[in-house]
Structure 1
Amino acid sequence: MKPKRYLAAATAGAVAAAVLAFGAGSADAGPGNGPGHDNGKGHGRQVDLQLLAINDFHGNLEAGDGLTHELHGEEVPAGGAEYLATHLEQARDGQRYSTTVAAGDLIGASPFLSAAFGDEPTIESLNAMGVEVSSVGNHEFDKGIDDLNRHIEGEADYAGADFPYLGANVVDEATGEPVLEPYWIKKFKGGVRVGFIGMTLEGTGDIVAKSGIEGIEFLDEVETAEKYAAELTGRGVDSIVVLLHEGGVPVAEDTGHDCESLDGSGVGMSGPIVDIAEDMTAEVDIVVTGHTHQEYVCSVPDPAGQSRMVTSASSYGRVFTEIEASYDKRTKDIVRSSVTGSNTVVTRDVEPDPFQTDLVQQHLDDVEEVANRPVGYIAEDITRGETRAEEFGLGSLIADAQLERTADPDFGGADIAFMNPGGVRADLLYDEGDPGVVTYGELYTVQPFNNYLVTMDLTGDQILTMLRQQLPGEDRDTTLFMQVSEGFTYTWDTGAEGTNQIVADSLTLHGEPIAADQTYRVTVNSFLADGGDSFHVLAEGTDRVTGEIDLDAFEAWFAENSSPESPVEAPEPGRVNVI
């Protein structure tokens, strides 16, 4: 627990630079139930397996006030490593055949407490929770493959992950061979073996910085699962679970997927995971997913017409999934009809795990002075949207700040700034800590990626193309609503077809029409400048000027534009005319 070099970087330059369990392990189990089940001595034909799963933890170690989840119709405090660890331990109690696994994004886009130490405290926390295996997610690549390997292999006084990080579809472009372990086999007593194939979404290359993944490509999830399921069955492992960092969204209408939410209401499911799960080889028995930060336990038919469970446990350690299944020792496979699952909110009405409490407190003590430093003042909550498909006040504020910091000709000469919604990771809340005071730690949690501001030339036609790339297309199944700086407006006609929803002749800057062949100076973060989030046209921008780190720019903007007497208010909505 000694990553002080990260804290030093944070203090010097404002930081310039889930768990899925299949039972308690391989030791003592409680008795099985019913004829043919394990009798506690390993002589039964069938044994009871347990999976406990989390996903998208994102380094949320601290049980902060902002972490809540709906339970019985009301928002309750939820999450925190010390409570998640206790819930998982209680769920494992008495289970002989249990393992704890995760579906990616355990690190990256983390709050300041973890990020200040390079996410090393999060890996240490997950080790202690008993996580045995995880797939990688896109955020595991936020700092590139070298930093991911540091977490896998450890270095100096940092031991790294005790569990394997799997990436079956993460391959070397030149050789086609995986650069991470593709699968892992859990070996229980009595010859019980379960194979886990881990993958991230095929589109990972479009949503992480290109500089950190040079020479790496991300392959199709269905084809990859088929390849390694065949390899596992060839090794005599017929019970197979896929840990996939790609997901879906619960929907109210019945889509034929027999889903269930925490409140017990029946829902359907949409999103990219539906087609993936329907096409994935029938050799796979269970699919544990993530990425969309949703919670669901659904049944999706596999290509053989058999029901197959697909799960996701929300995000930030606020929920975990418990999956139970029978394993037949004779067939060496999971009995598909026996599989059941449910999601549980990580409430804080249990005893906190003492190791996790000490871990969190030690790092809080180390970062307290830096994290609690006041950087500005707000008059009200300034928040994100309910989804990434809408305009929201905090996104507008960030775009305004980035425009102001790059408007001077010596720093880029920007006319317009755009901010991707996924880059805004938390709200600025008036009552968080001292009312109205914004701390460095809070600002870091909003923008934790340390992207640089890049100002470039784009034509009016390229700006229109970028706006049309907000819509679902070949590389993305969801809408991403780009947040825009003050003075830039356009009309989004939701009743029009396809990309015509972005009305071509509606783009204006300070009331003047944007001309298709005229050049404008546009500021975005370096992630977007590389074509991230499938805004590919931004990679074509020319005459680039690289400026400050986005967090530094936001901090400087607050220092210049807020005071106790004149706190910042949320920008008014309506910069984009949605009809």
Structure 2
Amino acid sequence: MPATSPAHPERRRRRTNRFLALAAGAATVGALAAAALPGSASAGEDRRPGGHATGRYQDVQLLSFNDLHGNLEPPSGSSGRVTHVHEDGTTEQITAGGIEYLATHLRQAREGNTYSITAAGGDMVGASPLISGLFHDEPTIEALNKLDLDVTSVGNHEFDEGAKELARLQKGGCHPTDGCYTDEEFQGADFPYLAANVLDEKTDKPILKPYWVWKKKDVKVGFIGVTLEDTPGIVSAEGVKGLKFKDEVETINKYARVLRAQGVKSIVALIHEGGFPASTSYNYDCDSPGAGDGVSGPIVDIAKNITPQVDALVTGHTHNAYVCTIPDPAGKPRMVTSAASFGRLYTDTTLTYDRWTGDIARTAVTSANHVVTRDVPKATDMTELITKWNTLAAPIGNRPIGYISADIGNTGTAETPLGDLIADAQLAYGKELDPETDLALMNPGGIRAPLTYAAKAGEGDGVVTYAEGFTVQPFANTVNLQNLTGAQLVQVLKEQVTGANAAAPKILQVSSGLTYTLDLTKTGADRVVTDSVRLNGAPIDPAATYRVATNSFLAGGGDGFTTLGQGTDDLVGADDLAALEKYLLANSSATNPIAPPKADRITVVK
């Protein structure tokens, strides 16, 4: 079969028959489970006393990825690279990603594997580039349908536009405000979104299916999908209005019991929460001797407490790559995987299914991450999809909004050049709203990609288009002004490294004029050196009032910055991308492009 053709067309025809859209207590599921309980003979199996069953073990291929974020076109800059470590310890940067290449790789991986499942760990949509984000991520859902995705958990970004919009992505229909973008009504996802731990406050029931079962002949594998319990802390209040987010472990253990009661003993958890490997290389062996801690972070405690009835964990959220074993509560190793982000990697896991027990032979589970390289043929159906949506987006996306003299990156120990640029843009916009505005703060998670100098189709070197700006700031947050005391401002800076951000600090990007020292040799709040915090060279006065510009997400106390939610005299402005566009147009031209800021406002002591 050509790599560029849609793979397994028979899967599409069988999809409605193969899906078991399970709800707790569904009679049809109970009947199917009872018909294939462990101990019952499967067709063609010799289960006579003393006889040897043929085909007792069946390898099931589980292909998985996570945190696609609508990246249909190949991501650029550092967002489009992965690190490979060689046997001699040297590293190599590999260009990766793009839905045209991901489709080819997955289709090639499926060849020869009759028992193959494709699953995802959430954040398929949200914070997406213009080609998808402009159309409320309908293009991404269409691409995932063509990709033959079988099932995914929700992630926090699936709630960026609220539960009703998520339901529309699942079920289909035209957007309630924008209407239909093409002559055909949006059909929704062919695959189920699982949201076991996301409950409607009124009904106390999951807003979408909590679990789903893949079945082929006598092989059954159940999937439970959850997002991180702290989703309300990293999504706008409007996005999670009317919802409750329950504990991940408690929820998975609950539905594992439900599946076992229905005769489904092979179970995979799709968890939109992740960890931090000791190496940034995608092929790092975190189980090798001398590998140190392997992986750390929230997923470790989650994995250690999920019932042994669950056989493997597909995770996400942290955008890291790892294939590790973490012991379950019985001390038995269990595979935990994550495939970085943006479609740069996919994970290929072999689950060995025991037909006699209906369970996975855990000692036989193998897994590895693979690079979505760009040296394979593009999947033509994905190219056609991208062309269709790019044609619709082009009148908006190709508009120049500024000029840069070099790449402006969004990576660094604390402060980044692009973070400085965005903070300066918000300060300038804030001063237009209120000349008394003193400073601006920008959350690093709101900066989704770098600005790259290299020319793209239809533009020249150094041109920043609206599409590129949208990729950098896709959330449509507003720029808000509020008053904070000097003491509150210092407390905000300390919240970067304490409380919800103690384990994984979130260093705010600061506008020109605000300086301070971040001492990483210390612990807790002491890492922010209070006496070093200055505005335009003057020490911060704890009793004085400062006018602060932030985006609406931060102004609501998002990302653990609760003190920002206590500001006064709020003023809501236009969206943050409009502020960036206005700043770039005012401060750059084709003959005088803007240079990357020096990123010297935060002094880091290591």
Q: State the alpha-carbon separation in 1 of the partners of residues 241 and 502 from structure 2.
A: 21
Equivalent residue in structure 2 for 1:225, among 220, 245, 252: 252
Compute the displacement of 1:333 (Å).
0.6
Q: What SS class does the counterpart of residue 407 from structure 1 fall into?
A: helix
Please report how far the alpha carbon of residue 99 of structure 1 lies from its aligned counterpart in structure 2 after TM superposition.
1.0
Q: Report how far residue 473 of structure 1 moved.
A: 2.5
> Which residue identity is paired with 1:147?
E
In structure 2, the residue corresponding to 1:181 is in which secondary structure?
coil
Secondary structure, counterpart of 2:484 in structure 1: strand
| CA deviations over 1:460-515 (Å, ceiling 9, x no partner) | 11111111111143466311110000111122222233112112232211111111
- Of 67, 70, 76 in structure 2, the residue corresponding to residue 59 of structure 1 is 70
- In the aligned structure 2, how far is the partner of 1:122 from the partner of 1:304? 40
Distance in 2 (CA, whole Å) between partners of 1:559 and 1:260 is 51
| Secondary structure in 2 matching 1:226 | helix
Normalised by the length of structure 2, the TM-score is: 0.85
**1 CA distance for matches of 2:502 and 2:220?**
36
Q: 1:413-562 alignment to 2 at 5 Å?
A: 413-433=436-456, 434-474=460-500, 477-562=503-588
Mapping 1:23-422, distance limit 5 Å: 44-63=55-74, 65-66=76-77, 67-71=80-84, 73-156=91-174, 157-190=185-218, 192-252=219-279, 259=286, 268-386=294-412, 390-408=414-432, 410-411=433-434, 413-422=436-445
Mapped partners of 1:349, 1:260: distance in 2: 30
Q: How far apart, in 1, do the equivalents of 2:463 and 2:431 lie? A: 27
1:8 corresponds in structure 2 to none
Structure 1 residue runs of 5 or longer lacking an equivalent are 1-20, 28-37
Residue 598 of structure 2, aligned match among 549, 553, 572: 572
Q: 1:178 to 1:39 in 2, by over 3 A?
A: closer
| Inter-partner Cα distance in structure 2 for 1:562 and 1:335 | 61
* Residues 553, 349 of structure 1: alpha-carbon distance in 2 compared, 3 angstrom cutoff: same
Q: Tell me, yes or no, if the aligned pair for 1:417 and 1:523 is still in contact at 8 Å.
A: yes
**TM superposition shift of 1:412:** 6.8
Residue 159 and residue 177 in structure 1: after superposition, are their counterparts in 2 closer, same or farther (change >3 A)?
Answer: same
Contact 1:472 1:478 (8 Å CA) reproduced: no
The alpha-carbon distance between structure 1 residues 238 and 509, as it changes in their structure 2 partners (threshold 3 A), is: same
Give the Cα separation in 1 of the matches to 2:254 and 2:72. 36
1:570 deviation in Å? 1.3
Count of matched residue positions in the alignment of Structure 1 and Structure 2: 539
Deviates more, 1:372-381 or 1:451-460: 372-381
What one-letter code is carried by the residue in structure 2 that aligns with 1:392? T
Instruction: Tell me which residue corresponds to 2:27.
Output: none
SS class of match (1:321): strand
| Deviation for aligned residue 1:65 | 4.9
1:10 is matched with: none
SS in structure 1 at match of 2:323? strand
> In terms of mean alpha carbon deviation, does 176-185 or 299-308 score higher?
176-185
Deviations, residues 431-473 of structure 1 (Å, cap 9, x unaligned): 1422111111111111111100010011111111111111143
User: 2: CA distance between counterparts of 1:181 and 1:475?
Assistant: 31
Secondary structure (helix, strand or coil) at the match of 1:233 reads helix
Q: SS state of the match for residue 287, structure 1?
A: strand
Tell me the amino acid that sits aligned with residue 199 of structure 1.
V
Task: State how far apart, in whole Å, the 1-side matches of 2:380 and 2:43 are.
Answer: 31
In the alignment, the residues of structure 2 paired with residue 61 and residue 41 of structure 1 have an alpha-carbon distance, to the nearest angstrom, of 44
Over 3 Å counting, the alpha-carbon distance change for 1:40 and 1:399 in structure 2 is farther
Secondary structure in structure 2 of the residue aligned to 1:131: coil
Corresponding letter in the other structure for 1:185? V
Distance 1:440 1:173 in 2: 39
User: Could you give the per-residue CA deviations for residues 3-22 of structure 1, whole angstroms, max 9, x where no partner exists?
Assistant: xxxxxxxxxxxxxxxxxx9x
**Unaligned stretches of 5+ residues in structure 2:** 1-7, 16-40, 46-53, 175-184
Q: Is the 8 A contact 1:252 1:267 kept in 2?
A: no
Q: Tell me the alpha carbon deviations over residues 162-196 of structure 1, each in whole angstroms, 9 at most, x when there is no partner.
A: 11111111112344322221111112112x21110
Residue 477 to residue 63, structure 1, CA distance change in 2 (3 Å): same
Deviates more, 1:338-347 or 1:178-187: 178-187
Distance in structure 2 (CA, Å) of the matches to 1:276 and 1:472: 21
SS at match of 1:259: coil
How far 1:349 sits from its partner (Å)? 2.3
Structure 1, 62-71 or 197-206: larger mean CA deviation:
62-71
